[in-house]
Chains A and B, each alone.
Chain A
Amino acid sequence: MIQPNGINPPKWPLKFLRFFVKKKYLEEIEGDMEELFRENAEQLSLHKAKRIYTWEILKLFRPILIKNLEVLQHLNRYPMFKSYFKVSLRGLLKNPVNSFINVFGLALAIGTCVFAYAFARWTFSRDQFHEHKNEVHLVTFLADRDGTLQQYGKTPRPLGEMLKEDFAQIKKVCRVEDRNVVIKYGDNVFHERVRFTDPEFLEMFTFPLKWGTMGSLKDVNSIILSEDMSIKYFGEENPIGQSMLMIFDKNRSKEFKVTGVAKEFPKSRTISFNFLINFENFRTSDPGYNFHDWKAFVSATLIQVGNPSELETIEKGMEKYRILQNKAVEEDWAISSFAFEPLATLHKSSEYIRDDISRSSKNDYISIVFMVVIAVFLLALACFNYINIAIATAAKRLKEIGIRKSIGATRKTVIVQFLSENIVITFFALIIGLILGYTFFIPGFELLWDFSMDFRIDDAALWIFLPAILLFTSIASGIYPSLYISKFQVVNILKGSVKFGQKNPLTKVFLGFQLIMSCIFITCSVLFTLNNSYLAKRPWGYNQAETLYANVPDQAAYQELSALMAQHPDVLSISGSSHHIGKSHATAILHFSDREYEVDQLSVDATYFETMGVQLKEGRGFKDHDGSDKQAVVVNELLVKNMAWKNPVGQQFRIDSIQYEVVGVVKDFHDYSFSKLVRPIIFTVADKEDYRYLSMKVKRGSEIKTHKALQANWAKLFPEIPFEGGHQEDVWGFYYEEIGIYDLVWKVFAFIAVSLATLGLYGLIRLNVEGRTKEFSIRKVLGAGLKDIAASIISQYMILFAVALTIGAPLGYIAGKRLIEFANVYHMPITFSPVMIAVVIMVLVLFITVSIQIIKVIKANPVDGLKVE
């Protein structure tokens, strides 16, 4: 009723109210609302009253007042659902091609979801198996380096023992330090990495033992093995009581007795061990190891507190150690504070902590985001297929719907029917998807990256995730078709005057979207492939192909080995160094009068540049006689650039307290793989006593032969020590493998995306062509040839293809560019050619899909077509 004075409540909230409120309550509530509105309009203002009115109506949207929420619960619908189930199964069997497209498409997408789930779970569970993960903390310190505060995971050596004495709140402390040793058991020798630690290690971390006792680590003669190592040395047998000889260096070795073997470690972890021995063993292995030296560091010190809230008190008490520490070290290495990092989140914070014993999970978290995005996209593609096909086939089911409706089905029951059919289909897809994920995606990925995600089918959370996916997918794909189909009036359906299905504009939008997505996926995959071949050819900046290297234990070993190798006819030059490109370097801080600068430092000999093929750009290399060039450095181009030196040769700076002068500049080279930026580097002359690497330049083509000779000579000289070394090319060989895997993963995704889109397109065209059988038959009878038929099929899709490609190509270009730039530090110049390749592939795929249908029409006998009712 419209009031004469024109004060009326706003219209759309009222409409909304009428839409949702139960009929029996409507009059009362509408009246109440209007009464309040008038009152407010008089007392306040019309504007305010309207606002209150709208807001109040929104607040009326409550379960108890909303229409029909209880309808579904009242009837016993079991027989009805049984019938729906039967109808769905029949429908599936009747149209095997459509069913395949639907089920297989959804299954692929769900398989990807299962995979993404497994990966996320694997990442989230990292290090979470430790019982005391919230009480155990890594001791770290913060220090100012080049003007930024950097957190370090190592700690001054004496700190651990002092912490234990000084704080009652600290229950347990353990120090961790790793050393490379040689282990001899029987006739076998192996290089191994051994963890020196306190007996508390096994109490603080949760690594239960399979055999033996934890407390045995208190004995300095015991050794505890991981399960892998136990199998490596002793097979499946219980090795308790066996002894192993550990060779620390040429003069020192010690016999250990196996007193424990750990159970298999959980798969998702960042900290574990191969061998554990008591920390006190440093007294044997390294008499120079000073336990009380504040200048020296231990790899990690961990503390366990009773209650994490006590850390604040401890943190306050750390000040005295800071003073102690800063008194001991030189100014450069002064620290600004200590901090504690809980074990539970160490794998996340590790990204920002230098030199810590954990490992960063950042890349995995990024991967999860990628996977979720891709899984959602694939799911969307599969749902679009389903929707398109459902709408296109709806015409075939009109009669069924008409009859259902005329014998009493309401629109709601029709919707419920279609949705439940959808759940049946999605359920099949879910099973196949789960199988695909479990037997194909996950093992495939694990195989590629050589790790195990420990995915278990009996994981409780998985069984929450799967029904959620089932429900989400079936509703996402089924809601629109069911609403669309149930909309039609019975009379019109039965009269046969309803024409719909093939001309739904939404179908084209979905198909267009699928094509755009495929275009993007293909572009990315093409870009990755091209970029990989670019990286494979990218020069490293030094001679990688013709160089061999070997680790040597000391100077004497170097002398013996180089003397032997020098006689080999294929060896062109031999160099000794204490660091080696791609293998090791030191860190130095350059002091200038006005600033400090951190660089990587490699100590080498005079012939190293020649041997490794590092090119001198300016100045000279090192002179080749004893004691020369002690204060000379050769720097790389980047350092010159960063320092903005116009005349680099002759520049001076201090390292520690020694003055150095730049004598030469070498061209930039990649010390690390292409995944990291080149860093500023200085070369200094290595003391002969410090030689740890032998590198050789050999004649082209003789690399393998010389490598064998090198190994043979080694075995002759040092039968006790396993050979370590090889082709310089292999140092970063795994990098190429890694980027190759990325490439493969993208290809798989692109393939899935394209197959989904093609399947959808194929299904649609097929339905379209089938619906027009009569038309085509008449055309053919009247003399239409291949050209006319093809034109009449293609013309419908031409514009769609064109639009999809014009949108997809630039989007693919942008997405691909972003992705390549994100994933690579060094990448190829990105041009439009990969996009063109992607477009060509797309056009080919589309052409083939359409052609199959055209050929079918051409081959069909028009008589059969005309006979069709």
Chain B
Amino acid sequence: MKKTKLGEFEELVLLTVATLQEEAYGVEIKRELEERLKEKLSVGSIQSALKRMEEKGFLTSEFGEATQKRGGKRKRIYTATPYAHRILAELKDIRARLWNSIPQLTPQLKAI
């Protein structure tokens, strides 16, 4: 687990990339995540998370189409690697198991 070093925010971005599939480029990721989190995000935070994850091997990327509204600049489409999918699944699993092992949650809540 330690080696994977996937931050909380990075994980969210990674999941978004996986969700968006072919549409996963900077602005779209930002839009999607902002909608889901219901808060404003900066381009810088998204970009640095993407680049970091690319360095760590969670993401690959290639240039996509260029559009008029981008001033003729190409998009970069991100794809989650199989490795990333595996780590995400592992994380989900660990979380689920942890949740399952909190059976006393309700009685305690009642006590409060």
Chain A residues at the B interface, C-beta cutoff of 8 Å: 1, 3, 25, 27-36, 38-39, 56, 59-62, 64-65
Q: Is B86 part of the contact surface with A, judged by Cβ < 8 Å? A: no
Q: Is the CB of A59 within 8 A of B42?
A: yes
Return the CB mask of B40-66 against A: 1 if under 8 Å, else 0. Answer: 001111011001100100000001001
Q: Is the CB of B52 within 8 A of A59?
A: no
Residues of the A chain whose Cβ atoms lie less than 8 Å from the Cβ of B51: 25, 64-65
26 A-B pairs, CB-CB below 8 angstroms?
A3-B71, A28-B25, A28-B26, A28-B73, A28-B75, A28-B76, A29-B26, A30-B73, A31-B26, A31-B66, A31-B71, A31-B75, A32-B26, A32-B43, A32-B75, A34-B69, A34-B71, A34-B73, A56-B42, A59-B42, A59-B44, A59-B45, A60-B42, A60-B47, A64-B48, A65-B44
Q: How far is the CB of A57 from chain B (nearest CB, A)?
A: 8
Q: Is the CB of A35 within 8 A of B43?
A: no
Q: How far is the CB of A60 from chain B (nearest CB, A)?
A: 4
Q: How far is the CA of A30 from the CA of B66 in the complex (A)?
A: 12
Q: Is B72 part of the contact surface with A, judged by Cβ < 8 Å? A: yes
Our pick among A1, A3, A38, A56 for the contact of B43 (Cβ within 8 Å) is A56
| With contact pairs A28-B26, A29-B26, A35-B27 given, residues A62 and B71 touching in the complex (Cβ less than 8 Å) | no
Residues of the B chain whose Cβ atoms lie less than 8 Å from the Cβ of A64: 48, 51-52, 55
Residues of the B chain whose Cβ atoms lie less than 8 Å from the Cβ of A36: 27, 30, 43
| With contact pairs A29-B26, A32-B26 given, residues A65 and B47 touching in the complex (Cβ less than 8 Å) | yes
Q: Is B92 part of the contact surface with A, judged by Cβ < 8 Å? A: no
The interface centre, meaning the residue of A35, A38, A56, A65 with most chain B CB atoms within 10 A of its CB, is A35
Q: How far is the CA of A33 from the CA of B70 in the complex (A)?
A: 8
Q: Is the CB of A27 within 8 A of B74?
A: yes
Residues of the B chain whose Cβ atoms lie less than 8 Å from the Cβ of A27: 63, 73-74, 76
Residues of the B chain whose Cβ atoms lie less than 8 Å from the Cβ of A3: 71
The interface centre, meaning the residue of B26, B43, B48 with most chain A CB atoms within 10 A of its CB, is B43
Q: Is the CB of A31 within 8 A of B74?
A: yes
Residues of the A chain whose Cβ atoms lie less than 8 Å from the Cβ of B25: 28, 32
Residues of the A chain whose Cβ atoms lie less than 8 Å from the Cβ of B52: 64
Query: Which residues of chain B (8-27) have a CB below 8 Å from chain A?
Result: 25-27
Q: How far is the CB of B34 from chain A (nearest CB, A)?
A: 11
Q: How far is the CB of A52 from chain B (nearest CB, A)?
A: 10
Residues of the B chain whose Cβ atoms lie less than 8 Å from the Cβ of A65: 44, 47-48, 51
Q: How far is the CA of A33 from the CA of B30 in the complex (A)?
A: 11
Q: How far is the CB of A492 from chain B (nearest CB, A)?
A: 36
Q: How far is the CA of A34 from the CA of B67 in the complex (A)?
A: 11
| With contact pairs A59-B45, A62-B44, A64-B52 given, residues A32 and B74 touching in the complex (Cβ less than 8 Å) | no
Residues of the B chain whose Cβ atoms lie less than 8 Å from the Cβ of A62: 44, 47-48
Our pick among B44, B72, B73 for the contact of A60 (Cβ within 8 Å) is B44
Q: How far is the CA of A586 from the CA of B31 in the complex (A)?
A: 80
| With contact pairs A3-B71, A28-B73 given, residues A33 and B48 touching in the complex (Cβ less than 8 Å) | no
Q: How far is the CA of A33 from the CA of B52 in the complex (A)?
A: 19
Q: Is the CB of A31 within 8 A of B70?
A: yes
Given contacts A27-B73, A60-B43, 20 further A-B contacts (CB under 8 A): A27-B76, A29-B43, A31-B71, A31-B73, A32-B25, A32-B27, A32-B30, A32-B47, A34-B71, A35-B67, A38-B69, A56-B43, A59-B42, A59-B43, A59-B44, A59-B45, A60-B42, A64-B55, A65-B47, A65-B48
Q: How far is the CB of B74 from chain A (nearest CB, A)?
A: 6
The interface centre, meaning the residue of B27, B47, B51 with most chain A CB atoms within 10 A of its CB, is B47
CB-based nearest A residue for B70: A31
Q: How far is the CA of A56 from the CA of B40 in the complex (A)?
A: 12
Q: How far is the CA of A32 from the CA of B74 in the complex (A)?
A: 9
- Number of B residues whose C-beta is below 8 Å from A? 24
Report whether over half of chain B's contact residues are helix, strand or loop; otherwise say mixed: helix
Q: How far is the CA of A1 from the CA of B63 in the complex (A)?
A: 19
Residues of the A chain whose Cβ atoms lie less than 8 Å from the Cβ of B69: 34-35, 38
Q: How far is the CB of A21 from chain B (nearest CB, A)?
A: 9
Top 10 nearest A-B pairs by Cβ distance?
A: A31-B73, A32-B26, A59-B44, A28-B76, A31-B70, A60-B44, A34-B71, A59-B42, A1-B72, A62-B48
Q: How far is the CA of A29 from the CA of B46 in the complex (A)?
A: 11
Q: How far is the CB of A353 from chain B (nearest CB, A)?
A: 50
Q: How far is the CA of A801 from the CA of B67 in the complex (A)?
A: 62
Q: How far is the CA of A64 from the CA of B55 in the complex (A)?
A: 10
Q: How far is the CA of A287 from the CA of B45 in the complex (A)?
A: 79
CB-based nearest A residue for B46: A32
Q: How far is the CA of A30 from the CA of B26 in the complex (A)?
A: 11
The interface centre, meaning the residue of B67, B71, B72 with most chain A CB atoms within 10 A of its CB, is B71
CB-based nearest B residue for A27: B73
Q: How far is the CA of A806 from the CA of B72 in the complex (A)?
A: 59
Q: How far is the CA of A39 from the CA of B34 in the complex (A)?
A: 15
Q: How far is the CB of B70 from chain A (nearest CB, A)?
A: 4
Q: How far is the CB of B72 from chain A (nearest CB, A)?
A: 5
Q: Is the CB of B74 within 8 A of A28?
A: yes
Residues of the B chain whose Cβ atoms lie less than 8 Å from the Cβ of A34: 69-71, 73
Residues of the B chain whose Cβ atoms lie less than 8 Å from the Cβ of A28: 25-26, 63, 73-76
Residues of the A chain whose Cβ atoms lie less than 8 Å from the Cβ of B27: 32, 35-36, 39
Residues of the A chain whose Cβ atoms lie less than 8 Å from the Cβ of B70: 31-32, 34-35
| With contact pairs A35-B27, A36-B27, A56-B42 given, residues A29 and B71 touching in the complex (Cβ less than 8 Å) | no
Q: Is the CB of B71 within 8 A of A30?
A: yes
Q: How far is the CB of B95 from chain A (nearest CB, A)?
A: 27
Q: How far is the CA of A3 from the CA of B66 in the complex (A)?
A: 15
Q: How far is the CA of A849 from the CA of B51 in the complex (A)?
A: 59
CB-based nearest B residue for A55: B42
Residues of the B chain whose Cβ atoms lie less than 8 Å from the Cβ of A60: 42-44, 47
Q: How far is the CB of A28 from chain B (nearest CB, A)?
A: 4
Residues of the B chain whose Cβ atoms lie less than 8 Å from the Cβ of A1: 71-72
CB-based nearest A residue for B71: A34
Residues of the B chain whose Cβ atoms lie less than 8 Å from the Cβ of A25: 47, 51
Q: How far is the CA of A36 from the CA of B75 in the complex (A)?
A: 13
CB-based nearest B residue for A22: B51
CB-based nearest A residue for B77: A28
The interface centre, meaning the residue of A25, A29, A56 with most chain B CB atoms within 10 A of its CB, is A29
Q: How far is the CA of A30 from the CA of B27 in the complex (A)?
A: 11
Q: How far is the CA of A29 from the CA of B42 in the complex (A)?
A: 12
The interface centre, meaning the residue of A39, A59, A62, A64 with most chain B CB atoms within 10 A of its CB, is A64
Residues of the A chain whose Cβ atoms lie less than 8 Å from the Cβ of B75: 28, 31-32
Residues of the A chain whose Cβ atoms lie less than 8 Å from the Cβ of B66: 31
Q: How far is the CB of B20 from chain A (nearest CB, A)?
A: 14
CB-based nearest A residue for B72: A1
Query: Which residues of chain B (66-109) have a CB below 8 Å from chain A?
Result: 66-67, 69-76
Q: How far is the CA of A59 from the CA of B40 in the complex (A)?
A: 13
Residues of the B chain whose Cβ atoms lie less than 8 Å from the Cβ of A30: 71, 73
Q: How far is the CB of A13 from chain B (nearest CB, A)?
A: 12
The interface centre, meaning the residue of A28, A30, A61 with most chain B CB atoms within 10 A of its CB, is A28
Residues of the A chain whose Cβ atoms lie less than 8 Å from the Cβ of B43: 29, 32-33, 36, 56, 59-60
Residues of the B chain whose Cβ atoms lie less than 8 Å from the Cβ of A38: 69
Q: How far is the CA of A62 from the CA of B30 in the complex (A)?
A: 17
Q: How far is the CB of A55 from chain B (nearest CB, A)?
A: 8
Q: How far is the CA of A1 from the CA of B74 in the complex (A)?
A: 13
CB-based nearest B residue for A33: B43
Q: How far is the CB of A7 from chain B (nearest CB, A)?
A: 10
Q: How far is the CA of A64 from the CA of B69 in the complex (A)?
A: 27
Q: How far is the CA of A56 from the CA of B26 in the complex (A)?
A: 13
Residues of the B chain whose Cβ atoms lie less than 8 Å from the Cβ of A33: 43
Residues of the B chain whose Cβ atoms lie less than 8 Å from the Cβ of A31: 26, 66, 70-71, 73-75
Q: How far is the CB of B7 from chain A (nearest CB, A)?
A: 13
Residues of the A chain whose Cβ atoms lie less than 8 Å from the Cβ of B73: 27-28, 30-31, 34
Q: How far is the CA of A368 from the CA of B63 in the complex (A)?
A: 59
Q: Is the CB of B76 within 8 A of A61?
A: no
Residues of the A chain whose Cβ atoms lie less than 8 Å from the Cβ of B71: 1, 3, 30-31, 34
CB-based nearest B residue for A62: B48
Q: How far is the CB of A574 from chain B (nearest CB, A)?
A: 87
Q: How far is the CA of A35 from the CA of B65 in the complex (A)?
A: 13
Q: How far is the CB of B80 from chain A (nearest CB, A)?
A: 17
